[in-house]
Amino acid sequence: MKFMIPEFLVFGCVLLSLIDNVYSGITSSFIRSEFPAVDMPLDHEVFAIPSGYNAPQQVHITQGDYDGKAVIIMWVTPSEPGSNHVKYGTSKKKYDFTAHGSTVKNYTFYNYKSGFLHSCLVKDLEYNTKYYYQIGEGNSARSFWFKTPPKIDPNAYYKFGIIGDLGQTFNSLSTLEHYIESGAETVLFVGDLSYSDEHEFDEMGERWDSYARFVERNAAYQPWLWIVGNHEVEYLPEINEVEPFREYLNRYTTPYTASGSSSPLWYAVRRASAHIIFLSSYSPYVKYTPQYEWLLAEFKKVDRKKTPWLFVLMHSPLYNSNSAHYMEAESMRVVFESWFVQYKVDLVFAGHVHAYERSHRISNIRYNISNGLSSPIPDESAPMYITIGDGGNLEGLASSYNDPQPDYSAFREASYGHSTLEIMNKTHAFYHWNRNDDGKKVKTDSVVLHNQYWKLMDTE
């Protein structure tokens, strides 16, 4: 018996006609040849160690404040701490400023000893400006650049990319190369970075290093905004490593204090015309816990007149019809979904499932234990849920879908790829999922988004 309450269908059909880009539910039959799901060998050129004694490597940057006038620059020096300064300026030839990094640290994990981990906040930048920066010393110095976003403005144009579950295989490389061609300026990364924990204990640390060298080609030039996935947990009692996220937290920081968060694992930023909320699927999130209390306060801070676009990232998807990880995030859904509807979130991005899926605007928040009302229904106030865990890691694709495709699922395909989200102004944005081996101009799944706040304001 598929539907318990036939009235849903009637009601649903009426609502569906009001909703953007209605699909009847497409399960793509596309199957392409893929690279074997194995990590690139450590002697592959993408992992090359930069020349020069103690040269900075694994350079990656993230937003450093709430509104986009700062970046945090992170890197590793292999042999000794070296300088923790960043020289920067708006000219390629001359660095007018110097920022001083925080204390250099390192850590051990099993029999691995990390290099020296640097983190430096560069703040008080101008909006919409290209900055050049240099780290390291003498012949080993290395130079990069980044561009700050436009100032917070409801009609600011901005193009985000979304990547998840990336890893360091040839498929990961393909995804990253396709992403770089997209022209997007900031990566929203939905967790599971290096997949180092799929290697032997004594190779894990090294695979964190190689991953960071691999993504440097992009992550040194534009901010990546991270959340944790299950592969960051690294709970390994068999080797007495039981403190979750230890390697990740040593290597990846976030501007969490800027949004009043008490943990790097959940935070928010505003960037151009977007307010973006980053959650941890693997930290406490029920009432009374820090993440819950923080998120409630953060939602109340969102001002759609200033940042009309509201996005949420988490690792484990609330809606997913793949056999892999099916219903795994119910525990978070029952806590947060009603807020996503109440606050008219535009899009929720997740990873975890190694395939692509997009939902219709649906919600499932009427259940009261006894009433049986526990099936998703069309809901104009609800977000679209995007699962984009198809970065290309060594675990391969999740190619088995629940059959038949449930009504909440709009489009699904088990291929590698990335998404882009091009915000045109306060009312419209273009969202695309890009399968890796299509040409640049073929967007496999495309949606014209009408901003949830302004759209629903208009119809009220």
Q: Does 316 bind its own copies (CB under 8 A)?
A: yes
Catalytic annotation, pick one of 60, 231, 325, 432: 325
- Give me the least distance between CB of 438 and its own copies, in Å please: 31
Which range of residues in 19-27, 105-113, 239-247, 425-433 is near its own copies by CB under 8 A?
A: 239-247
Judged by CB under 8 A, the number of residues near its own copies is 48
Residue 161's nearest CA partner among 200, 198, 190, 141 is: 190
The reply to whether 114 sits near its own copies by the rule CB under 8 A is no
Residue among 430, 221, 408, 458 nearest 309 (CA):
430
Give how far the C-alpha of residue 405 lies from the chain's centroid of Cα atoms, to the nearest Å. 26
Q: Is-contact 54 78, C-beta < 8 A?
A: yes
Nearer Cβ to its own copies (291/436): 291
Q: If binding is defined by CB under 8 A, does position 242 make contact with its own copies?
A: yes
User: What is the CA 307 to chain-centroid distance, rounded?
Assistant: 19
CA distance 351 to 192: 8
**Any contact of residue 9 with its own copies (CB under 8 A)?**
no
By the rule CB under 8 A, 289 interacts with its own copies: yes
Q: How far, in Å, CA of 335 to CA of 365, rounded?
A: 10
Q: Which is nearer to its own copies, 171 or 259 (CB)?
A: 259
272 binds its own copies (CB under 8 A): no
Near its own copies by CB under 8 A, which window of 86-94, 203-211, 285-293, 410-418? 285-293
CA distances from 307 to 63, 162, 312, 330, 336 (A): 17, 19, 14, 29, 21
Give, to the nearest 10 degrees, the angle between helix 290-301 and helix 330-342: 20
CB of 274 to its own copies, least distance (A): 25
- Shortest Cβ distance from residue 328 to its own copies (Å)? 6
Can you tell me which of 224, 285, 311, 385 binds its own copies, judged by CB under 8 A?
Answer: 285
Under the criterion CB under 8 A, does residue 24 sit at the interface with its own copies? no
The residue among 73, 160, 183, 177 whose CA lies nearest residue 125 is 73
- Considering only the stretches 247-255, 268-276, 382-390, 403-411, report the one whose residues sit in contact with its own copies under the rule CB under 8 A: 403-411
Whichever of 138 and 372 has its CB closer to its own copies, that residue is: 372
22 binds its own copies (CB under 8 A): no
Residue in 182, 283, 381, 399 binding its own copies, rule: CB under 8 A: 283
Binding of residue 335 to its own copies (CB under 8 A) = yes
Q: Which ranges of 271-349 does DSSP label H, i.e. alpha helix?
A: 290-301, 330-342
Q: Can you tell me the distance from the alpha carbon of 147 to that of 29, in angstroms, rounded to the nearest whole number?
A: 39
Considering the rule CB under 8 A, would residue 5 count as an interface residue with its own copies? yes
Q: With beta carbons less than 8 A apart as the criterion, state whether 191 and 352 touch.
A: yes
Quote the DSSP letter at residue 411: E
Q: Which of 29, 33, 139, 370 binds its own copies (CB under 8 A)?
A: 370
The smaller minimum CB distance to its own copies, of residues 40 and 348, is found at 348
Contacts of 25 (CB under 8 A, 6+ apart): 405, 406, 407, 409, 410, 411
Q: Is 215 helix (H, G, I), strand (E, B) or coil?
A: helix
- Dihedral-angle region of residue 102 (phi above 0 means left; psi in -120 to 50 means alpha; beta otherwise): beta
**C-alpha dist (Å) from residue 60 to 117, 135, 275:** 12, 12, 22
Binding of its own copies by 25 (CB under 8 A) = no
Q: Closest distance between its own copies and the C-beta of residue 101, in Å? A: 24
Q: Given the complex with its own copies, which of 374 and 446 has the nearer CB atom? A: 374
Contact between 237 and its own copies per CB under 8 A: yes
- Residue 267's beta-bridge partner residues? 278
Nearer to its own copies by Cβ, of 289 and 446: the residue is: 289
Tell me: does residue 290 bind its own copies (CB under 8 A).
Answer: yes
Among 28, 375, 399, 425, binds its own copies (CB under 8 A): 375
How many residues does this entry show for the chain?
A: 460
- What six digits make up the tokens of 409? 């699922």
> Which CB atom, from 181 or from 243, has the smaller least distance to its own copies?
243
Select the residue interacting with its own copies from 334, 395, 427, 438 (CB under 8 A). 334
- Assess 393 for contact with its own copies (CB under 8 A): no
Q: Which is nearer to its own copies, 351 or 376 (CB)?
A: 376
Is there a catalytic annotation at residue 450?
A: no
Q: Is 6 in the site for its own copies (CB under 8 A)?
A: no
235 binding its own copies? (CB under 8 A): yes
Q: DSSP for 437-453, please give it.
A: TS-TT--SEEEEEEPHH
Which of 268, 279, 332, 397 is in the footprint of its own copies by CB under 8 A? 332
* Interatomic CA distance for residues 80 and 53, integer angstroms: 10
> Per CB under 8 A, which of residues 195..224 are in contact with its own copies?
none
Contact 253, 89 (CB under 8 A): no
Binding site for its own copies (CB under 8 A): 1-5, 230, 233, 235, 237, 242-244, 260, 262, 281-290, 293-294, 316, 327-332, 334-335, 364, 367-372, 374-376, 406-408
Active-site positions read 325
